[in-house]
């Protein structure tokens, strides 16, 4: 098992996940579940916390590896955020014109950093196995083994949904600047930058 160091060029969005088998067909999403580590045959596993950026990360990373065809959600859903149920809603219904996940029960279920093509790809590439509420290690392991033995074909080429943006976004001449909207004088007085 390896930590997330750009394995095989997959998984473009860094985060709290562990990479196992590059040709594994399963991604495991851990909701609230203690002391459970999926077996090495899975492609990738990690926790899901938020119903917006957390879901986006999972989609971007899962569709970057075409071998992944199943996504297993296990553990208790997170109260309020309902991130697991919101991910299922996204897979089922997609997003509306305001980029809100349709029928998502979470508090802030917006998908802002992925194109609709990436969401479609996720819907087509992945079958979701809903084990929300299941925390028993043996039960989850049995499901993983069962789906692992199916050996589904690869979905084709990797889909890179997100590229990490360059960090420099503004060109400001004065060296003490914190932000393009404000100016800080040499003793620390802040004022609004002219024209902003």
Partner 1 sequence: MFSFTRKQEIFDVSGIKIGGQPGEYPTVLIAGLFFIVEPDFNKAKKNLKTMFDVSKKTGNPAIPDFFIRKEEYIDRILDFIQKTLPKNQPFSIDIIEPQIKTKMLKKLDEKKLLSRTIYNSIHIGITDEEKKALKRYTPDTAIIVAFNPKDGSPDGKIEVLENGAHMTDKGLLDIAKEVGIKKILIDTAALAPGENSGAAIAAIPVIKEEYGLPVGCAIHNVVEKSKWLSKHGIQAKKIVDIASNINIPLFGGDYIIFGPIENTEYVFPTIAWQDILISEYTENYFGIKPIKNHPRRKLI
- Does 135 engage in binding with partner 1 (CB under 8 A)? no
Distance of CA 152 to the CA centre of its chain: 22
Q: Candidates 35-43, 105-113, 117-125, 133-141 — which segment interacts with partner 1 by CB under 8 A? A: 105-113
Give me the least distance between CB of 175 and partner 1, in Å please: 16
In the complex, minimum distance from the CB of residue 192 to partner 1, in angstroms, rounded to a whole number: 6
Q: Which of 153, 156, 166, 188 binds partner 1 (CB under 8 A)?
A: 188
Spatial separation of the C-alpha atoms in residues 26 and 36, rounded to whole Å: 16
**Distance in angstroms (rounded) separating the CA atoms of residues 75 and 47:** 10
User: Which of 83-91, 101-109, 124-132, 136-144 is the region at the interface with partner 1 (rule: CB under 8 A)?
Assistant: 101-109
User: Measured between alpha carbons, how far is 120 from 91 in angstroms, rounded to an integer?
Assistant: 9
The verdict on 117 binding partner 1 (CB under 8 A) reads: no
| CA separation for the pair 29, 155 (Å, rounded) | 20
The footprint of partner 1 on residues 19-48 (CB under 8 A) is: none
Establish if 181 lies at the interface with partner 1 (CB under 8 A): yes
Q: Does 1 bind partner 1 (CB under 8 A)?
A: no
| Displacement of CA 19 from its chain's centroid (Å) | 14
Q: What count of other Cβ atoms lies within 10 Å of the Cβ of residue 195?
A: 5
* Distance of alpha carbon 16 from alpha carbon 35, whole angstroms: 16
Residues in contact with partner 1 by CB under 8 A are 14-16, 49, 52-53, 56, 79-81, 98-100, 106-113, 169, 178-179, 181-182, 184, 187-192
């Amino acid at each position: 098992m390896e930590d997330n160091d750009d394995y095989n060029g997959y998984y473009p969005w860094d985060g709290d996940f562990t990479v196992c088998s590059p040709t594994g067909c399963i991604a495991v999403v851990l909701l609230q579940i203690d002391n459970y580590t999926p077996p090495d045959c899975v492609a990738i596993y990690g926790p899901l916390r938020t119903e917006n950026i957390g879901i986006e990360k999972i989609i971007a990373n899962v569709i970057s590896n075409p071998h992944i065809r199943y996504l297993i959600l296990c553990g208790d859903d997170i109260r309020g955020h309902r991130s697991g149920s919101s991910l299922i809603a996204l897979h089922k219904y997609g997003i509306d014109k305001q980029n809100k996940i349709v029928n998502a029960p979470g508090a802030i279920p917006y998908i802002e950093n992925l194109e609709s093509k990436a969401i479609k790809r996720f819907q087509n590439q992945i079958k979701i196995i809903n084990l929300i509420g299941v925390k028993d290690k043996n039960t989850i392991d049995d499901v993983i083994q069962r789906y692992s033995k199916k050996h589904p074909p690869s979905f084709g080429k990797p889909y890179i949904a997100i590229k990490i943006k360059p960090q420099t976004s503004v060109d400001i001449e004065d060296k003490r600047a914190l932000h393009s909207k404000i100016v800080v004088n040499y003793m620390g007085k802040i004022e609004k930058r002219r024209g902003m």
